[in-house]
Amino acid sequence: MREIVVLSGSPSEFSRSEKVLKYLGSLLEQEHFSVTHISVKDVPYEDLFLGKYDSPAINEIASSIQNAQGVVVGSPVYKGAYSGVLKALLDVLPQDILQHTPVLPLMTGGSMSHLLAIEYTLKPVLATLKGYNLKGLYLLDSQIDKHKENPIVDVGILGRTKKQLYYFIELVNNQDAIVLPSY
Ligand SMILES: Cc1cc2nc3c(=O)[nH]c(=O)nc-3n(C[C@H](O)[C@H](O)[C@H](O)COP(=O)(O)O)c2cc1C
């Protein structure tokens, strides 16, 4: 069974982006993937704050990601970028950890004015880790109801989400046949 890691970068207790990520995880499980959810909230504070790249928790996260055939990374927009705590986690992971790995980036934000945060902040850092980025998804808070099992209440963005997930699945399933760029 192919392994997918879903990584949540929200520090929020009742997180919209995490709820969307959980929903994507459930769709992937329906497609017979084995899904591991990881949240920045699961990582001991001192590992992140003191940059303990060799701590047991960080090693465990690193090996889950290294063993995955695909990774979904989500974050809220904070001050026009992805969350600082997600960066703290990415900073202590091994260099090139996403090499040859299809990555589906996702951000949620309160306003359309930071739509490009995914292009200018999240995708570049994932590319630095050598992930193979898909186009990605940006969802507005108004398109999400975190109390619903399927939290994506806007039909248009739900359609785009499923389309992106389908491309992601296709890439994960066919990655042995594809030569992914390594740069
Ligand atoms: C500290 C903070 C900063 C934020 N900055 C922005 C921002 O710059 N642009 C924006 O569109 N939304 C901003 N928001 C709104 C969040 O991105 C939005 O509510 C998001 O869906 C929250 O996701 P979460 O519930 O997973 O944490 C901010 C929210 C917080 C708490």
- Write the DSSP assignment of 115-179 as a string of letters: TTHIIIIIHHHHHHTTEEE---EEEEGGGB-TTSSS-B--HHHHHHHHHHHHHHHHHHHHTTTS-
- C-alpha angle 160/32/103, rounded to 5°? 50
73 alpha carbon to ligand 1 midpoint, in Å?
16
Mean pLDDT of 76-91: 98
- Which residue lies with its CA nearest to atom 16 of ligand 1? 109
Alpha carbons 58 and 54: distance in angstroms, whole number: 6
Nearest ligand 1 atom, CA 146: 25
* CB-based pocket (< 6 A), ligand 1: 10, 12, 15-18, 76-80, 108-111, 114, 141
Amino acid symbol at 92 = V
Pairing of strands 137-140, 34-39: unpaired
Confidence of residue 175 (pLDDT cuts 50, 70, 90): confident
Mean pLDDT of 154-181: 88
C-alpha distances out from residue 136 to 2, 106, 118, Å: 21, 6, 8
Structural tokens at position 18: 């995490």
Alpha carbons 7 and 107: distance in angstroms, whole number: 12
Mean pLDDT of 95-113: 97
118 alpha carbon to ligand 1 midpoint, in Å?
13
Contact yes or no for 62/97 (Cβ under 8 A): yes
Structural tokens at position 142: 């108004």
Contact yes or no for 152/121 (Cβ under 8 A): no
Structural tokens at position 161: 């989400």
Structural tokens at position 126: 């994932």
> What is the share, in percent, of the chain residues with pLDDT greater than 90?
94
Q: pLDDT at residue 179 above 70?
A: no
Mean pLDDT of 109-121: 97
Per-residue model confidence as pLDDT tens digits over 8-45: 999 999 999 999 999 999 999 999 999 999 999 999 99
Per-residue model confidence as pLDDT tens digits over 117-151: 999 999 999 999 999 999 999 999 999 999 999 99
Q: pLDDT at residue 155 above 90?
A: yes
Q: pLDDT at residue 181 above 80?
A: no
